Amino acid sequence: MRGYFAIGAEGISKPMNLGALMRTANAFGAAFVFSVKAEDRTKLAYKSDTSRTFKNLPYYQWDSPEEMHFPKGIKRVGIELTDDAVQLPEFQHPRMAAYILGPERGNLSQDMLNHCDYVVKIPTRFCINLSLAGALVMYDRYRTMGHWRDRPIMPGGPLQG
């Protein structure tokens, strides 16, 4: 798979969610992880990050969307339930992307949305856990950009032939 991605959250406050997001990002091959306006308690994220992401990937922490500095060419993709957001199954992931999730008990700020090139929503009936949302986005990127064969028409795995 060509390109790279990063994932992070704005206003994250629960260390376990950040740790789970970081562990999943490490598993899916993220280039780095980040947070914006994170509460100080997120420093405890390493307790739930059993893959030791801090030792394997860069972690950036910014205080505002204006402070975010990404490599040239990266597209910012907000993950949020807005009326005009693109449904995740219909979204073409950019080759270089930074996915930004909202806080546990809220939404991405309007300031953050203004800094996004795209806004995508996961087709659920209501908001889901932040780290689960991140995992779904990373899996969708992996599945759609990983040059996988089309799924079989009949239930089951690929035919052996």
Q: What is the pLDDT of residues 56-69, one digit of tens each?
A: 888 899 999 999 99
The residue extents of the domains of the chain are: 4-98+115-145
Residues in CB range of 27: below 8 A, 6 or more apart: 51
pLDDT at 48 over 80: no
pLDDT band at 2 (very low <50, low <70, confident <90, very high): confident
CATH fold for domain 4-98+115-145 = Alpha/beta knot (3.40.1280)
Q: What is the pLDDT of residues 71-96, one digit of tens each?
A: 999 999 999 999 999 999 999 999 99
Give the pLDDT mean for 27-48.
78
Residues in CB range of 127: below 8 A, 6 or more apart: 81, 133
The structure's pTM equals 0.90
Evaluate whether 76 touches 116 at the Cβ level (below 8 Å). yes
